[in-house]
Structure 1
Amino acid sequence: MFYIFTLPMILKHINQIPVIAEAHGAKYAVLSPGSRVAPLTLAFTRYKKIECFTLSDERSAAFAAMGMAEASSTPVVIACTSGTAASNYIPAVTEAYYRQIPMVILTADRPPEWIDQWDGQTIRQNNLYSNHIKRSFELPVDTSHEDAQWQSNRIINEAFIEAKKHPCGPVHVNIPLREPFYPEPGENFKFERKVRIIENGEITRSIPLNILSDLEKKYKESRNVLILAGQSNISRENQEKLSDWARRKNIPVITDIISNCFNVDTAITKADIFLKTLKESEFNKLNPDLIISFGKSIISKNTKIYLRLRINRKQEHWYVGINEFLSDPLQNLTKTIDVEIDQFLDQTMDWENKDPKYLKSWQAKEEKAEAKLNSILGKNGETLNELSVSKAILQSLPENTNLHLANSMPVRWVNFISGKGRNLHIIANRGTSGIDGTISTAMGHSIVKSDKYNVILTGDLSFFYDRNSLWHNYDYKNLCIVIMNNRSGGIFGLIDGPSRQPESNEWFETRQMLTARNIARDHKLQYFKCTTTTHIAEAKELIKSSSGRIIIEIFTEPDHNKKVFKALFQ
């Protein structure tokens, strides 16, 4: 496919970028205001085949773009002006890198001769994200020669190819620009057919037969096999395939809430609770001979600690997935299998079934942990605490809801409960597990997928930290924000180390008395305050109604939360 421009400006290579982006599947661009970025802004906004959004806070803009990319499964463009604007992208870029979400980052820059010359809005932008990016490129500053035009075209094509290539991820293109940035009045700004598009055809990987045979031999030698599912956007079809595979073979699937595998028939969702208190005499019943893991991060520290400690000399641990780096969080990896999990399941469907005794051992622990959880919830039913609030929110969600979980405690409380039996999709920024970006990421989902209901469960600090996510002019009616406000960073009151220090309240928990009422008013959102169990019942009805543009703020006491948390592990 070819396009060309009839434009008397010297920036013809810039005006090719949106055309190349669209040809590679991009549907959205998030642009932040600035002067140096003006040529990119004009090129994208005048090219009507890509929907453009302007978000002023670059940190929030990048997380919103990441949410758009995740929601649409397409590479999303972000573009900003020079200087610290580009630095504000870093949190979202690192998150997208570890979550394998495709983004193409375009940073307008000063010409190279002005770097380190105390010129305004000038920093060292080339390779700014180099440790957390798939590839970094820089366009030529002088494109008057046709070879430089060819180079620029090739780089932009390569950037989009790289962002989409498995494993997907962010790619950076730094773009030095000299003035003039703006077309003169009456200048012809017309897109015509004739721009080179370089296509890339990825081949589906499969396990070679000789390797598959060796794997099956190891599998047959293993009596106790378990699957460990890390963070995943696994499709409904592949969830069912995994469920069928594990059920037939009598294999437990250890899941976190963020694995989106909690509805697998043999799912073990309460490992984080019962592995903490497991007696030494019970270890052997649960010890695996073979671990098959897939996905990314795991929330449960207790699961990781247990599986690290239960190393034996004959144990095998296979990781199934395609990554840029070798990850061994359990410290016992023996083999990597470079295919996606669905391909692995397809090729191993006829492997032998295992004795159900091992699965039943895990399921017995799961049932006891479930009973313990319900007992704790029953004892604290009239007291507002974050565990009971999390369960109430889960119960109120309509089918097919996107549930966005903030880091620190919200994602952990929901992980204790699990989403078993619910048709939900869980989203969390667990690539780097930072406090920033939860609301912005969900906002990106809401803006581009108006038919999908999005509910956020967040703590107060995460919400206030990301309040600029609401600062834009775009309509959305499908976003409900639930804040558990304990007036502090509650996780530090639950961890033994910081909670024992006399400085804890000020320097770790950072107590504060803010509420979200005025933020809701400023951004024209409905606001509902919860301080009693009666209010919770009303809040559940508000969530069930799927009416977006609402903030529900639920106030809990840190001491109650701490009591419930400790009861889970007694």
Structure 2
Amino acid sequence: MSAAARQFRAAGTLLAGLRDAGARIVVVSPGARSMPIALAARRVPGLETVAVRDERSAAFLALGAARSTGRPAVLLATSGSAGAHWHPAFVEADAAEIPLVGLTADRPPELRHRRAPQTIDQTDLFARHVRLALDLGALSDPDVPRAAFASAARVAVRAALGPPAGPVHLNASLRKPLEPPGELLDLRFDGPGDGPGIRPPRCEPDPEAVGALAPRLAAAQRPAIVAGPVPACRALPADRVRELAARIGAVALCEAGSGATLGDGAGFPLVDAFEPIVRCPSAGSGLMPDLVIQLGPPPVSKGLDAWFAAPGAPARIVVAAHGVPDPWHAAHLLAADPLAGLEALAEAAGGADRAAWLARWERAVRAADEARGRALEEVPGQAGLRESRALAAVLARLAPGRHVLLANSLPLREAELFAPPPRTALSVITQRGASGIDGLVAGAAGAALATGAPVLAVLGDVAALHDVGSLHVLRDRALPVVVAVIDNRGGRIFEQLPAASSGLAAGEFEAALVMPPRVDLIAAGAAFGIPALRAGDAAALRAALD
């Protein structure tokens, strides 16, 4: 068998192994060195090959797909700097625990460190931001059985699924000739393909640890459950969280990104869009809990942050499968999947009569919704469109079950403050691993691709500019994605920082932090062949959404 044939068959075996382990999407960017692998991917039944010209967009698309499904998405790039463009997405996947498998094609060892073109050291390209970095060697090596590449695929997916889940880097050397022999172009890399794949293990709570913490919950007079943002594939079930909260006698404060929020229909004591309550100066007198059960990552809430950092802060139990998500340095830790840990605590602690505590919160929820409604009332003759009203109008127009991606900075925080009642049952997508604003257009595209469901991405103008190049993905794939840009002339979230009132001149503050893009996003959409509408007031926005 020729070296080119061995190379092509090894690539197909590797990709079929990734499919059998659970991967379903391969995002391919162009390149000669990676061509044999790209051609093999198209010949693996059960793998969808998605072509994306820019590696950065490709990586965030794969991230969006994996974040929505929990399945590892596969990336393919050629040699040189191509794979380095994945790094921001790998950082987010690392921090948010999202499974990715990145496969870089490489020049053979005899060309490395010799100034050969498009050749860099790719063996440790992502440093500590991957769960595993594995050099596969040369795919054409006659001494390596093809079964070893199928085994490497299983190793990669097992590492990507964790726990903790995260990105994995595979590096494969390919030699010329890169073109597979013509007689192999009709080959199909069939295989099992119908097995369960590799599933991530559940982390069950230790009974002794539960027994040590349950008395604290039983003794609490004002318990609260707090659910922060998680990837959409690990969204908390609202009905179960509400049921457990009711059994305990706790109020459940669930942020938009937790999954158990924004009109899930579960009802009190599950509370969504609670931020106006916990930010209220008078809330501390009767609404601050004496014990908090934090499910998973820390909440985004500014109000809760102030509570947890203040003297006399409530005691906290953090339930997390791994790691210590406690930036306030004062929590007890229960190592478990969040829902499993909450179920175990509820069973061990039992219920209690906390009706007065819940009644205070129920009154506060009604008052907050009434105040929110007044704040969102349109003022006759008022020109323009505030961020809060724009976001409220967008959320109110979405049909139940729709997917909405809320960008970091203002959109996510404004949703917590101004989501109008009654709130629609939505699937909320956030990017809260490293909490960056990059790659969100591609991330929305990945969610739509993987789920087949329409996605509305609500971005600020800076976030939109960050990923304007990914508009080509929406056009090429004709994906059901709508991008709603709140164009407020720059990073206005910085106006909430102390620096905004520190005496900096307005021009210097804008130049250093706000940085208005001054880009015509309507024209940018037209350049990519994507229709765009401008809405300058509430009526125009409603018409555009309809």
TM-score > 0.5 by shorter chain = yes
Distance 1:29 1:534, change over 3 A: same
Distance 1:201 1:407, change over 3 A: closer
Equivalent runs, 1:223-238 vs 2, <5 Å = 223-232=221-230, 233=232, 238=237
Q: What's the % identity of the aligned pairs?
A: 22
Q: Is the Cα–Cα contact under 8 Å of residues 4 and 176 in structure 2 kept in the other structure?
A: no
Structure 2 equivalent of residue 356 of structure 1:
355
- The structural deviation recorded for 1:491 is 1.9
- The structural deviation recorded for 1:244 is 1.2
Structure 1 equivalent of residue 164 of structure 2:
167
Q: Is the Cα–Cα contact under 8 Å of residues 45 and 189 in structure 2 kept in the other structure?
A: no
Distance in 1 (CA, whole Å) between partners of 2:196 and 2:9 is: 18
Distance 1:322 1:52, change over 3 A: same
* C-alpha distance after superposition, 1:445-498 (max 9, x if no partner): 223433x22111111121122112121463335221111112222223343414
- The structural deviation recorded for 1:28 is 0.9
Partner of 1:507, secondary structure, is helix
Structure 2 equivalent of residue 182 of structure 1:
179
Counterpart of 2:257, as a letter, is: I
Distance in 2 (CA, whole Å) between partners of 1:116 and 1:147 is: 25
Counterpart of 2:481, as a letter, is: L
Structure 2 equivalent of residue 532 of structure 1:
537
Distance 1:285 1:225, change over 3 A: same
Counterpart of 2:92, as a letter, is: E
- The structural deviation recorded for 1:277 is 4.3
| 95-104 vs 468-477, which moves further | 468-477
TM-score by length of structure 2 reads 0.88
* C-alpha distance after superposition, 1:264-283 (max 9, x if no partner): 5223445433434425xx63
Structure 1 equivalent of residue 255 of structure 2:
256
Distance in 1 (CA, whole Å) between partners of 2:331 and 2:347 is: 23
Match 1:501 to one of 504, 509, 514:
504
Structure 2 equivalent of residue 243 of structure 1:
242
Q: Is the Cα–Cα contact under 8 Å of residues 214 and 345 in structure 2 kept in the other structure?
A: no
TM-score by length of structure 1 reads 0.85
Counterpart of 1:273, as a letter, is: P
- The structural deviation recorded for 1:148 is 6.5
Structure 1 equivalent of residue 489 of structure 2:
487
* C-alpha distance after superposition, 1:232-259 (max 9, x if no partner): 3377882101111112332111222112
Distance 1:96 1:143, change over 3 A: same
Distance in 2 (CA, whole Å) between partners of 1:215 and 1:234 is: 28
Partner of 1:334, secondary structure, is strand
Structure 1 equivalent of residue 217 of structure 2:
219
Partner of 1:20, secondary structure, is helix
Distance in 2 (CA, whole Å) between partners of 1:119 and 1:301 is: 52
- The structural deviation recorded for 1:354 is 4.2
Q: Is the Cα–Cα contact under 8 Å of residues 308 and 331 in structure 1 kept in the other structure?
A: no
| 100-109 vs 290-299, which moves further | 290-299
Distance 1:425 1:161, change over 3 A: same
Partner of 1:108, secondary structure, is strand
Counterpart of 1:507, as a letter, is: A
Distance 1:236 1:30, change over 3 A: closer
Equivalent runs, 1:190-205 vs 2, <5 Å = 190-191=187-188, 204-205=202-203
Distance in 1 (CA, whole Å) between partners of 2:196 and 2:269 is: 45
How many residue pairs get aligned? The number is 532
Q: Is the Cα–Cα contact under 8 Å of residues 38 and 182 in structure 1 kept in the other structure?
A: yes
Structure 1 equivalent of residue 89 of structure 2:
92
Equivalent runs, 1:193-342 vs 2, <5 Å = 204-232=202-230, 233=232, 238-262=237-261, 263=264, 264=266, 265-279=268-282, 283=284, 285-311=286-312, 316-323=315-322, 325-342=323-340
Q: Is the Cα–Cα contact under 8 Å of residues 7 and 190 in structure 1 kept in the other structure?
A: no
Match 1:428 to one of 424, 427, 430:
430
Distance 1:32 1:10, change over 3 A: closer
Distance in 1 (CA, whole Å) between partners of 2:182 and 2:240 is: 60
Distance 1:310 1:261, change over 3 A: farther
Distance in 1 (CA, whole Å) between partners of 2:25 and 2:309 is: 43
- The structural deviation recorded for 1:140 is 1.9
Partner of 1:292, secondary structure, is strand
Q: Is the Cα–Cα contact under 8 Å of residues 275 and 303 in structure 1 kept in the other structure?
A: yes
- The structural deviation recorded for 1:394 is 1.0
Partner of 1:327, secondary structure, is coil
Distance in 2 (CA, whole Å) between partners of 1:427 and 1:202 is: 21
Distance in 2 (CA, whole Å) between partners of 1:354 and 1:341 is: 23
Distance 1:453 1:474, change over 3 A: same
* C-alpha distance after superposition, 1:96-140 (max 9, x if no partner): 222222111111122334444333222232222222222221112
Distance in 2 (CA, whole Å) between partners of 1:55 and 1:199 is: 26
- The structural deviation recorded for 1:158 is 0.3
